Structure 1
Amino acid sequence: MSPFTIVLAQDAENSISLSVDEAIQYAHQNHGTVLNASLDEKIATKKIHEITGQGLPQITASFDLKDFIELPTQLVPGEFFGGEPGTFTPVQFGTQYNATAGIEASQLLFNSSYLLGLKAAKSFQELSIKNIERTKVETSVNVSKAYYMVLINENRLELLEANIVRIEGLLRDTKVLEKNGFVEKIDLNRLEVKYNGLVTEREKVKKLMVLSMNLLKFQMGMSIETNLTLTDSIESWDTSTTSPVDQFMYEDRIEFSLLESQRELLNIDLKRNNLAYLPSLVAYGNFSYQAQRNEFDIFDFSAGNKWFKTSLIGVTLGIPIFDGLQKSAIIQQSKLELLKVDNNEEMLKQSIDLELSNALTNLTNAKSSLESQRRNMELAESIVEVARKKYEKGVGSNLEILNSETDLKQAQTDYLNALFDLIMANIDFKKAMGLY
């Protein structure tokens, strides 16, 4: 869903209605971890610009002004001034004020580290993009689980409300019967205890609803003050997106792709270290003017106050000869780091295999458990119905109704727990399959 569509769902009271897919999309646009991952990708892009700039011409302008409060002294052989050989005469050369203004330019002609550094920066950018995807996967899983937790609690509240209505009706009828002497006071008390227990549990579930809704908003990066309405329901959930395990490939998992990117970066680093033995070549040039004055009239350009011009061009060739075997040690480190990646890849495959196996087992067990709990709930509902009819005809007891109601409530709770377990197992299975 587009950001524009999500905005349209909001009203003036700061309310928003979202399906689970829309909630995931909202989280991708607003959650802090996703936003930070996107910023990391932008930082990587700027890093490419930085490294690219190192290969472009470097131009620097400068201005230097010196005031020699005391001119430097030089020792000149004494015989230059008629003195004895072996003696020295102190003399001072120069002017008090010296100024130099110039511009210097350099251009990198060849450097193996530069070319590979640029390639590494692009690979790092790709790694940052993949990290965004990994963050989105984790966010999608967290939002999905939180979303369905809210729906389960809504269903739990609905079932409690239905149970309270049923017990409330039975309590009214029993009060009439007790008043007319058809049932004992203890039967009425049992129903009141049951009713009060349900009411108390309903309040607990309502508070739990608030907590689970706040958790969902947090996972989405949404303000807790926002009025959020969930448009999906438990009935709309299904497992049709589950793919056969035999179609799984390790490349479907973003973690595997991240490891491959790390391997590529290490290979580039190894090449860079190997090519560090090659020479580097830099061209440079300098153009400057210099002024020398005994009076502070540096910026007086009239006749007699000359600025003297200097210009040069040159080339610097750097040839590595011996570095104390530092590069060799660095190359060996890079090779060892690549071996670590091989080990990490093997461990990741084993971890994925275990995760997928556990997820499939949990999903299979959850499906069986849900079907079993559904049958138990349907059976408990039929027992309650029979007990009520027997009680209405005077052949059943109040205690029998209470026991059947207690069994029904437990069966409903077990069913919802099994449904929640199945939904969580399905989400974990999809994550293990790389479907998020």
Structure 2
Amino acid sequence: MINKKWIGFRFSILLAATFLLVNRSSGQSLYTLQQCIDTSLKNSLQLKSDNLDLDKTKASIGEAYSSLLPTVSASGSYQYQFKVPVQLVPGELFGGTAGTYQVAQFSVPQTKSGSLDLSQTLFNASSLIALKAAKVAVNLNQLQIQSSKEDLVYNVSATYYNIQTIMKQMEMTSRNLQNTEELLQSTSDQYKAGLATETDVDRLNVSRDNSRADLESERNSLEKQYNLLKYLMNVPLESNIVIPDIDQAGTIVPAETPAFDITKKTDYLQVLENRRVAELERKNIKAGYLPSLTLSANYGVSGYYSNADPFKNLNDKWYSSSYIKLALNVPIFDGFNKKYRIQSKSVEIKKYDVQAEQLRQQSLKNVANANADLKSNFLTLQNKRRSLDLAQKVLDDLQLQYQNGIAKITDVINSQTDLHTAQNNYINALINIKQAELDLKKAQGTLLN
């Protein structure tokens, strides 16, 4: 007699498979790795933030350029004094006694004035260098965007491969569970007929429960990885994203390793740009030894009246004034401040040279290691694939022998354990080779290619 639990389990599998087929047939599309990457690059909040930083830095170029342009300002004022200030003057100026003082007012209550001021820097080396530094800062922001893109592509790819690996693991675990259920059903029937022991049934029950627990844990891991992928793509968590299994993604073959070019490494280019900034800052400090020359001009008019009336002037006249000025500022001595600041910047530049060389050597090492890992993992994957096929064959043979009464249930369970180990080894080899491919691209600076 067929066990009711077994019928329920087989029905559940059929129902889940039917639901999956309905979903896929209803227009649900599979997301390729490139589609996931494109979506993440389009929606990334980090990239949006980096681009805003770039816009802010571009604005600083205009700010630096403005220091080279003339400045024009206009001003005006109106003042009425209820009590005009007085001043004391010697009395003898007005025919009085020497040693005495008289009170005099030298202004009227109402005063109006307006002026136009112009200033133009004729020579200031620091302003020219600041403009160059602002342009270099834009390059640094662009490199930061490049770095953020590379990190995003790396994380999306790693998550994508993790999902494919877990799906493959779930596929194998489901197959193991189904085989155990079938063996358990057969052994239960043999136990009822007196051909198997209760211990045999119990051992298979334990094996089945362990497989179910493994499958549930894998489902939980798969859901978390999908959530991570949606987070990296910046799409709602309820979005319906389906990743093809690793067999559908293509056959894994070792690729030719392109020649390594250090100038493709974003972190290396960032060090070079930082060095340029430090070099410009040193030049800017040196420019402090040079004189600066500024031209300024002013034209203004003033009107006066004895009462509060903005529309009237004494004698109905405006009195004008103007000047032009050429100002030269020559630094002489600053207590050796600039000297030591220049020394500090020179040390900083040397440090960037050391960092650049460190990055070059480290990148060469990372490329060599990633390339070696890729080749080694490819050979390991082939070996693990053969071991997996052999473990599956041994289990199939032992199950057949057990059903014919030749093998013991202990041999079958041990063979299941060996198969489970071979499956885990194969899964690990899959993820390792994908990880090695990613690491090689990262080391070469070709993640965005």
**TM-score, normalised relative to structure 1:** 0.88
Q: 1:321-351, CA deviations, whole angstroms, 9 ceiling, x for partnerless residues?
A: 3333222222222212211112222222333
Q: Which of the numbers 42, 48, 72 marks the counterpart of 1:35? A: 48
2:152 aligned with 1:135 = no
Secondary structure at the counterpart of residue 241 of structure 2: strand
Mark the runs of 5 or more structure 1 residues left unpaired by the alignment. 1-12
2:261 to 229, 249, 252: 249
1:193-215 deviation per Cα after TM superposition (whole angstroms, max 9, x unaligned): 11111111111111111111112
- For structure 2, the residue ranges without an aligned partner over 5 or more in a row are 1-25
Question: Structure 2 CA distance, aligned partners of 1:79 and 1:357?
Answer: 101
Describe the superposition over 1:172-227 as per-residue Cα deviations: whole angstroms up to 9, x where unpaired. 22222222222222212221211111111111111111111112222333332322
Check whether the contact 2:288–2:338 (CA below 8 A) recurs between aligned residues.
Answer: yes
Q: 1:113 aligns with which of 105, 116, 126?
A: 126
Between 1:337-346 and 1:230-239, the stretch displaced more is 230-239
Match of 1:279 in 2: 291
CA distance 1:341–1:75, change in 2 (3 Å): farther
Structure 1 residues 430, 241: CA separation in 2 closer, same or farther (over 3 Å shift)? farther
Aligned partners of 1:410, 1:72: CA distance in 2, in Å? 103
Identify which range, 220-229 or 124-133, moves more after superposition: 220-229
Q: Distance in 1 between matches of 2:372 and 2:78?
A: 80
C-alpha distance 71-356 of structure 1, shift in aligned 2 (>3 A): farther
Map Cα deviations across residues 358-380 of structure 1 (whole Å, 9 max, x no partner): 43343344334323322221111
CA pair 370-252 structure 1, distance change in 2 beyond 3 A: same
Which of the residues 161, 186, 192 maps onto 1:179? Answer: 192
How much does 1:408 deviate?
0.7
Residue in structure 2 matching 1:203, options 216, 223, 237: 216
1:369 aligns with 2:415: no
| 2:305 paired with 1:293 | yes
Q: How far did 1:239 drift?
A: 5.4
SS in 1 for 2:170: helix
Are 1:347 and 2:358 an aligned pair? yes
Say whether the 8 Å CA contact 1:78–1:89 is kept in structure 2.
Answer: yes
Decide which moves more: 186-195 or 57-66: 57-66
Q: Which residue of 2 aligns with 1:54?
A: 67
User: Is the deviation greater in 286-295 or in 43-52?
Assistant: 286-295
- Paired residues, what number? 420
Q: Could you tell me which of 256, 276, 280 is aligned with 1:264? A: 276
Q: Hey, what's the Cα distance between the residues in 2 that align with 1:201 and 1:101? A: 86
Q: Which moved further from structure 2: 283-292 or 228-237?
A: 228-237
Is 2:339 the counterpart of 1:328? yes
Q: Is the contact made by 2:254 and 2:378 (CA closer than 8 Å) also made in structure 1?
A: no
Please identify, of 303-312 and 122-131, the stretch whose mean Cα deviation from structure 2 is larger: 303-312
Q: Against the structure 1 CA distance between its residues 69 and 243, is the aligned structure 2 distance closer, same or farther, given a 3 Å change threshold?
A: farther
Of 79, 85, 97 in structure 2, the residue corresponding to residue 66 of structure 1 is 79
- d(CA) in 2 for partners of 1:165 and 1:435? 43
Contact between 2:40 and 2:234, CA under 8 Å: does it hold in 1?
Answer: yes
Counterpart residue type for residue 211 of structure 2: L
Equivalent residue in structure 1 for 2:246, among 233, 256, 269 = 233
